[in-house]
Amino acid sequence: MNKGVVLSQVREKITELDQKLLKLLSERRQLSLSVAQSKIDTVKNVRDKVREEELLIDLIQRGHKLGLDAHYVSQLFHVIIEDSVLNQQAWLQERANQQHESPITRVAFLGAKGSYSFLASHRYFSRRVDSIVELGCDSFDAIINSVESGQAEFGMLPIENTSSGSINEVYDLLQHTSLSIVGELTQPVEHCLLTSQTTDLQSIETIYCHAQPYQQCTKFTAQLDNVKFEFVDSTAAAMEKVQSLNSPNVAVIGSQEGGALYNLISIKNKIANQQENHSRFIVVARKAVEVAVQIPAKTTFIVSIKQQTGALVDALLVLKKNNINMTRLESRPIQGNPWEEMFYIDVDCNLHHADMQAALTELNNIAKQIKILGCYPSESIQATPIAKVLLESNTPV
């Protein structure tokens, strides 16, 4: 038989299997929502890590008998489990906040299609609504104003990056807005150098980029000689510019996924300073949400401490005393009050939990001011740890 015919038949078989896999994944996702429904009356947590570990070990052992590597099986099912957890959380949140539903979900974000905020918005709301109305904005302040004025139901704001750190402008805006944080999302960031046509790195004369991606790729950019950098308001604006110029001498720093929306191609992948590069986004709305009891929650608040020795330490000890885990502490100057600072604090605790309420009562006695920015579901889904010996072993244990 002709080799071309054999290859064609093999590809058809692979396509057929892929379609079956998609149907099975869809069926599994529906069953996971049935699991969420069963947890309403029993008030069980969404995650059962003991069950997850038992499941993964069983799957690794079964996969071994089928000739599948343990790492392959574990990585595949970590993704499936994460999807299941996030979908269950989204369903439970929708049920707990039905009064917040809207027939049209308008989302304000930085830039236009292809920006990292655009991608984050679609990823976050894909679990919650059928579609969104996109409201691209040219500044963080414009995002806040869009939600405060009712032009949008939600705003997507980047708050920190593992490479370039905190986005101070967003923290400063949170001091004065009446909006509440209602959600979060951690988005992997994979910077590439994108062009409108096939070219080589030596031909690039100008690179368009937003300040944040530039800061996250300084090791790469430092190696470029005689290249001019043009800074724009968003990555999307940079992509639009490179697309319109259609020149082999211009490029943009952005994501391959976003660049594809502008028919841009990558000539250099993985240019970020850190290969494990993630941005955390927060979702803001005019009304706070109730976090379903089955879901792990985060609370974010601002506290202004009295200017006296040990005041900040005393405040943090209040959290420790009440068994509250602090995940982030950020200081920002108070505008109009020289040498005074506000502290932004993230904790792993529901605002309505007795421990949190006790801590807030104590903090009110030692702080000048406390402002709750929001209580929202935690979407930091950590992979269930599997014994290293199991993953490294070629035989089941």
Mean pLDDT of 4-18: 86
**Mean pLDDT score across all residues of the chain:** 87
Distance, CA of 356 to CA of 224 (rounded, Å): 51
**Mean pLDDT over residues 37-41, rounded?**
73
Both structure tokens of 21: 């896999």
In order of 24, 41, 337, 389, the CA distances from 60 in angstroms are: 19, 33, 59, 12
Of 165, 166, 147, give the one whose Cα is nearest residue 155. Answer: 147
> Which residues of the chain does CATH 3.30.70.260 include?
297-377
Please provide residue 172's backbone torsions phi and psi, each rounded to the nearest 5 degrees: -65, -35
**Residue % of the chain over a pLDDT of 90:** 50
Q: What is the pLDDT of residue 198?
A: 92
Residues of the chain with CATH 1.20.59.10: 15-97
Hey, what CATH topology would domain 297-377 get? Alpha-Beta Plaits (3.30.70)
In three-state secondary structure terms, 133 is: strand
pLDDT at 35 over 70: yes
* The predicted structure's pLDDT at residue 391: 55
Angle between helices 168-176 and 140-148 (to 10 degrees): 30
Bridge-based pairing of strands 341-347 and 265-268 is unpaired
Checking if the pLDDT of 236 tops 90, the result is no
We find that the CATH architecture of domain 191-268 is: 3-Layer(aba) Sandwich (3.40)
With bands split at pLDDT 50, 70 and 90, how would you rate the model's confidence at 390? low
- Please tell me the predicted confidence (pLDDT) of residue 3: 72
Q: 98-189+278-285 architecture in CATH?
A: 3-Layer(aba) Sandwich (3.40)
CATH class of the domain whose range is 15-97: mainly alpha
Summarised one tens digit per residue, pLDDT across range 66-120 is: 988 888 888 898 888 888 888 888 887 777 777 555 556 899 999 888 888 999 9
Question: 44 exposed, middle or buried (CB, 10 Å; 0-12, 13-18, 19+)?
Answer: middle
Say how far apart CA 251 and CA 209 lie, in whole Å: 9
How confident is residue 361, by pLDDT bands cut at 50, 70 and 90? very high
Taking 60 as the threshold, does the pLDDT of residue 393 lie above it?
Answer: no
Split at pLDDT 50, 70, 90, the class of 37 is: confident
pLDDT at 397: 46
Grade residue 395 by pLDDT with cuts at 50, 70 and 90.
very low
φ and ψ of 246, to 5 deg: 45, 55
What pLDDT is recorded for position 396?
47
Average pLDDT over residues 197-216: 92
Q: Sorting pLDDT into bands at 50, 70 and 90, what band is 251?
A: very high
